[in-house]
Chain A
């Protein structure tokens, strides 16, 4: 078990380091004149040569690539990704400033998505009407197919402009959170619901359910007591997809609803070619992903005894 934990931790650290290196190559090495990225493209030709050299020196672009790499890596290890080109603020500060807003949005959306997914799975597996089952089962693939910006704009049009129930833009107050939350929850719920429908169907057909039925348990008791837990656990295996959907969804959702957060910060950083900020965000996202995956890898064997046994056998 200890060897397993060490191996998984090592992999997580490797992924974060590699994400740093990948973004370094993409953003600092591949562009011919990385300092050009720091200026507004439309003003590039009017900037005097000495200013460009000065800026290049400031950012360390005049040093050999290897030196730049280890300097940046050293600083990054200490949590310093340099200063944002546009605002001049440290990248870490800029990212941490908007992080809470995105965390609230994604945590809420994830919870709502799980609720929707369970509602779909329970309805699909418990209804006796085939047409209802077919309809409900087709919802998850529709949820992943409708572009996030379209559902956002539709919700905005109906509930903010037509009905006036919720504010259209901004990030203050709980009422302004409702529409972004729903928008983001829709695509996130799709894959979870698909997996739950499959798992619930498989569990309900398994031997222990038949045995419990034969012993006199009602369907509700079995679903609540056993099926629910057994069918839910595999949802942890699609953590990666869920995380990716949350990040991609929040970029679009925050743009549509003009909410502050990591997603919109990413979009502004890319639009203004704010290279240090882009690198900081990508490394942060990769690190969160690695951390969440590590947590799942470490917790899963605790929740599933079968896996614990396999691991013990493999590492013995």
Chain B
């Protein structure tokens, strides 16, 4: 997003001085590419394997090796990106959307609204999000979409809290008072002045949340609450290799490493967005 704001040449020069950041963007772009066009990145099927070639170690043919059923693990990772990243995106959208609205109502309408909403937020914050997500998914039933919903619901509270404190700071600014003075209605002030000026911190949180949500989605998948086994999902891929970790460690470790790289890259990018002085 920032690349559009700055003159391309200056931006490129700035990026060149930060090779780690460039690598992070490449990792994330690659993962998104896997999710959007998996067939461009691998010719193997993620579901059917060659039972004669089970437990093959990583090689030129099978970059990540093969699993118990002889399925190509690289292909399963590539197709797994779609499951995991879709769930992540959905989770962040849910948390961002609902959290922003709830925080806005609490901060802007104040008094009773604020008290009631913030006490409920306190309760949600006092239950660790993984535990809350596990409870929600157990009520909804096991599936990738429900994992996304559960992870999203469990992070609404932190978005609401950040949005509320931003709104409280913005509401006391002179330009907001001036808008009231000029006779602008309450709702119009909220939409035109308060919301746009409160969003920047929440957007930074959303960027950070992408990494956290990938981890949460994969953790729930690892625990077995996602799509059923033939479906490739990063957390589930690691779980499938657990029983063979003593003899065939790559089955767990390579998909796990891919997952870790994406999360590290997402965190690196979110820090760079927060430090950007233009924000």
Contact = CB atoms under 8 A, between A and B. Distances in A.
Tell whether A pairs with B.
yes
Contact of B259 (A150, A281, A290): A150
Interface in A244-277: 244, 247-248, 251-252, 255-256, 266-267, 270-271, 273
Nearest to B120: A18
A293 B123 CA distance: 13
A146 interface: yes
A30 B126 contact: no
B128 A270 contact: no
Interface residues of A, number: 48
B131 A146 contact: no
A290 B126 contact: yes
Interface string B239-264: 10110011001001100110110011
A31 B126 contact: no
A142 B264 contact: yes
Given A145-B215, A153-B238, A244-B129, A278 B263 contact: no
Interface in B119-137: 119-120, 122-123, 125-131, 134-137
A27 interface: yes
B211 interface: yes
Given A141-B267, A273-B138, A149 B131 contact: no
Contacts of B239: 149
A23 to B, nearest CB: 7
Main secondary structure of the interface of B (DSSP, over half): helix
Contacts of A22: 123, 127
Contacts of B42: none
Interface string A231-255: 0000000001001100110011001
B127 A146 contact: no
Contact of B126 (A148, A248, A286): A286
Interface stretch (A93-101, A154-162, A203-211): A154-162
B260 A266 contact: no
B219 A141 contact: no
Contacts of B134: 251, 266-267, 270
A14 B116 CA distance: 12
B222 interface: yes
A265 to B, nearest CB: 12
A205 B59 CA distance: 53
B232 to A, nearest CB: 16
A147 interface: yes
A147 B219 contact: yes
Contact of B219 (A252, A285, A289): A252
Nearest to B263: A145
B156 to A, nearest CB: 13
B164 to A, nearest CB: 17
Interface in A114-165: 141-142, 144-150, 153-154, 156-157, 161
A141 B253 contact: no
A149 B238 contact: yes
Nearest to A286: B126
Contact of A255 (B223, B259, B267): B223
Given A26-B135, A153-B245, A251-B223, A15 B267 contact: no
B5 interface: no
B263 A147 contact: yes
Contact of A11 (B122, B215, B242, B259): B122
Nearest to B125: A240
A76 interface: no
A145 B242 contact: no
Contact of B263 (A146, A149, A270, A281): A146
Contact of A271 (B119, B224, B245): B224
B139 A161 contact: no
B5 to A, nearest CB: 25
A278 B263 CA distance: 30
Contacts of B122: 11, 14-15, 18
Contacts of B138: 270, 273, 278
Contacts of B263: 145-147
A284 B32 CA distance: 40
B264 A161 contact: no
B64 to A, nearest CB: 14
A266 B119 CA distance: 26
A256 B263 CA distance: 20
Contact of B238 (A141, A150, A157, A285): A150
A19 B127 contact: yes
25 contacts: A15-B126, A22-B127, A26-B135, A26-B139, A31-B139, A141-B271, A146-B264, A147-B215, A147-B218, A148-B219, A149-B222, A150-B259, A150-B260, A153-B238, A153-B249, A153-B252, A168-B246, A244-B129, A244-B130, A248-B128, A267-B223, A270-B135, A285-B128, A286-B126, A289-B128
Given A15-B123, A147-B256, A270-B137, 9 more contacts: A15-B122, A19-B123, A149-B235, A153-B249, A153-B253, A161-B245, A255-B223, A267-B134, A289-B128
The 5 A-B pairs of least Cβ separation, nearest first, read: A150-B256, A248-B130, A244-B128, A18-B123, A247-B128
